[in-house]
A and B are shown apart, each in its own frame.
Chain A
């Protein structure tokens, strides 16, 4: 079946440090890949996405590249800020039935950035 494996947290970094959160997936076919972010006490927000191999999604300084050969979609940011502290979810989207797609999420990675 389809699954997403995410780097276990929590991750604690100092401000301006480099961030990598690893994500690998197992899927049949060619899923779309997403990173969602959940700030404390809030809902999920789409951070970035990629819909085909070698696509790079980017937003707010975060980047992730869809790597079909390694089935990975690692999230990176060159210089994190305190405001980036949140839980990050990697997810893949596939067609479950009919025209509805289903998101399968990783377990989430808690990021804390210290000033």
Chain B
């Protein structure tokens, strides 16, 4: 009964490669997010999609491209990986109720670029 799932859990790759991380939620939520957690545990939002439309696009290199094929999925594709991309990437989803909402997070994808 996993609510927000991500694959893969671990990803080790070489600099310059292209990789994708997948996220799926079975909560029926309208909004999905990608966050990046750096080595000091600092969390920062990258993107947000609402009903498959890009809503939030923070200052992120254009090597990062989110794609939402449907409301339940939000994938993250990264081109030309760099050492600094090593981090934990979290997917989250939420649904607004009466002006308030809570975000639920996936287990994270630990990306290591060598």
Contact = CB atoms under 8 A, between A and B. Distances in A.
B56 A102 contact: yes
Nearest to B101: A101
B59 interface: no
B30 interface: yes
Contacts of B25: none
- Interface range, B side: 20 to 34
A43 interface: yes
A87 interface: yes
Interface string A92-115: 010011111111010110100000
Contacts of A77: none
B92 to A, nearest CB: 8
- Interface range, A side: 20 to 34
B12 interface: no
A44 B35 CA distance: 11
B101 A96 contact: no
Nearest to B105: A44
Interface of B is mostly: strand
Contacts of B50: 98-100
A42 B107 contact: yes
A47 to B, nearest CB: 11
Contacts of A27: none
B41 A107 contact: yes
Contacts of B35: 103
Contact of B102 (A38, A43, A46, A105): A46
Contacts of A97: 55-56
A45 B56 CA distance: 22
Given A97-B56, A99-B96, A103-B45, A44 B90 contact: yes
Contacts of A89: 43
16 contacts: A38-B41, A43-B108, A44-B43, A44-B108, A46-B103, A49-B102, A96-B56, A99-B96, A100-B55, A101-B31, A101-B94, A101-B103, A102-B45, A102-B56, A103-B92, A107-B41
